[in-house]
Amino acid sequence: MEPTAISDPILEQLIWLSHELGREERQLAILGEGNTSTICPDGTFWVKASGSQLGNITSQGFSQVSLGAVMELMENETMDDQAVARALQEVLANPTHRRPSVETFLHALCLHEAGAKWVAHTHAVSVNQILCSRLGAEPFLRHLFPDGIVVCGRHPAVVPYVDPGFTLALVVRDELRRYQEAYGHAPKLLLMVNHGLVALGQTAQEALNITLMADKWAKIIVGSYALGGPTFLPDAQSERIDNRLDEHYRRQQLHGATLKP
């Protein structure tokens, strides 16, 4: 039996987003890499079940989880592997669903702390060839072209490599809070060194757009280093692009439709 009817528009869009991210030619995620999630109006969220593949996932590849229960767990400072495994079963809104991804904690934080409605985590080859280099996330801290700012935001959030799962979520929580205190809003793009990227969108389309633009951005970074090094936009120009009224309008048009509860 499937966990919910495929006519559920929220789950349908999450499946669409996952398939788009899992397309082989995009090289964003292969095998069981990456995960996606979205908030539901009843205080739960859908998140990829452990071991599912984004490219061919069906409704049975997702688990419905209590957001409140996960956030209660985030009040702990440590949890060992056995405690995490038990917790991931206990937070299920439907006990017949499969165990959710170990990154369920990260997704809950992005949905709750950062106010995202759709979250896409991938291990894009283009992005990881930079994040896994000696430069880490440093090349992403300044912009090279306007659309990177429009789609991915003026500043990405960044965390160092941390053991995936609960421990990583604690570090991401601290970075999300630091970021919002520094900039007055949540990030659209989170970069995890030696790991991958997370897109925080208000719609499924926006989460996909952020991921694809980060992929393009990474390819341009690598190409610019191959030809003598990048010419970054001056900070004043980046700030101007981020705040232009016409770019705000274009940003809204790119978001795609928001689902009604």
What domains can you pick out in the chain, each with its CATH number? 9-254 (3.40.225.10)
pLDDT tens digits, 75-124: 988 889 999 999 999 999 988 999 999 999 999 999 999 999 999 999 99
pLDDT tens digits, 160-201: 999 999 999 999 999 999 999 999 999 999 999 999 999 999
- Percent over 70 (pLDDT), the chain: 91
The torsion defined by the Cα of 50, 51, 55 and 59, in degrees rounded to 10, comes to -50
pLDDT at 76: 87
pLDDT at 3: 42
pLDDT at 117: 97
pLDDT tens digits, 46-80: 999 998 999 999 999 999 999 999 999 999 888 89
E-state strands within the chain: 35-39, 44-48, 62-66, 118-122, 157-159, 189-192, 196-201
pLDDT at 127: 98
What's this model's pTM, rounded to 2 decimal places? Answer: 0.91
Among candidates 71, 17, 19, 21, which has minimal Cα distance to 44?
A: 71
pLDDT at 40: 95
Does position 1 have pLDDT exceeding 50, yes or no? no
65 burial type by CB count under 10 A (0-12 exposed, 13-18 middle, 19+ buried): buried
Does position 6 have pLDDT exceeding 70, yes or no? no
For the chain, what is the mean pLDDT? Answer: 91
Give the confidence band of 261 by pLDDT, cuts at 50, 70, 90. Answer: very low
Identify the H or E element spanning 107: helix 104-112
51 burial type by CB count under 10 A (0-12 exposed, 13-18 middle, 19+ buried): exposed
Map residue 243 onto helix, strand or coil: helix
What end-to-end distance do the CA atoms of the chain give, in Å? Answer: 24
Map residue 62 onto helix, strand or coil: strand
| Mean pLDDT, range 123-151, rounded to an integer | 97
Does position 249 have pLDDT exceeding 70, yes or no? no
